[in-house]
Amino acid sequence: MVDITAKSNTLRTAIAQAVVTVGSVETIQLINNNQIPKGNIFEMSKAAGLFGVKKTSEIIPDCHPLPIEYTGITFEVQDKSILIKVKVKTIYKTGVEVEAMHGASVVALTMYDMLKPVDKNVEIGQIKLLLKTGGKSDFQDVIDMKLNASVIICSDSVFNGSKEDKVSEIVTEKLTNHGIDVMHRNVLPDDKNSIQTEVQSRINANDNLIITVGGTGLTKRDTTPEAITPLFDKQIQGIEETIRNYGQERTPFAMLSRSVVGLSGKTLIIALPGSSRGVKESLDVLFPHILHVFRVIEF
């Protein structure tokens, strides 16, 4: 039985807002003209908000320290008020709604502090959570079946022994943590025919999941997508986009990856990039929720 609600490095997102209301339109004009004596309130409060998000666990007793993947802070001037929105993302076992709300609060307090010399009627209000996604309640599913997998490394340098295989264990550990048995592992050269033959043999062996690693770049020997795409009955572009989008948030070079994902019969085939970091990040964003595929397809 595979539990998709198991603890995993799932992407969590939260958006919070706060509203700062000033006493007069003249204050808004001073803000828009960057004439506040203490400086630019948007730049200063945004910097404070970033610190506020990161330091939430130091202020709120029951909040655990967690890695913040992304913080976005935006402002919208409305008549005599400023609408603050703070968006926070993390890959962790808990959500980030408190971090987002704390960040919004700190932004608002910083604005208050900077505006009080010119306006004695500044107020803070409507600090609230607008959105929370990625928590356990969003992704509840249990697959009552035993899944097995193969891991295939596609690399000339690993095959000839000039480079150490550092990714097989990363993939195996991730799959094992989600109750998937890795029944077969192999290392192949970057040869289209060899890769295609090996993947087809694992399809014929009725593997539930095949993960290839490497050969998705742009060099002449990167032929993994060309080898396995003809074996697909259905290509799953959404999963491919998820891998690249997540990588793009971490390095601009992720756009060059040619990772492909598809179904051959009832076998899910995932071609991942060859670097250890690329493999780990791809697995983090995909698992465990990609396993819902096995709920969708008919067994």
Active site residues: 113
Please state the φ and ψ torsions of residue 233, each to the nearest 5 degrees. -85, -35
By the 10 Å C-beta count (0-12 exposed, 13-18 middle, 19+ buried), 192 is classed as middle
Sheet strands (E) in the chain:
2-3, 11-21, 68-78, 81-91, 123-133, 142-143, 147-154, 180-188, 209-213, 234-235, 261-264, 267-272
Element (H, E) at 172: helix 168-177
Rounded Cα distance between 68 and 172, Å, is 26
Cα three-residue angle 167-171-176, rounded to 5 degrees: 145
Give the list of residues 6+ apart from residue 252 with CB closer than 8 angstroms, or none.
none
Please state the φ and ψ torsions of residue 145, each to the nearest 5 degrees. -160, 160
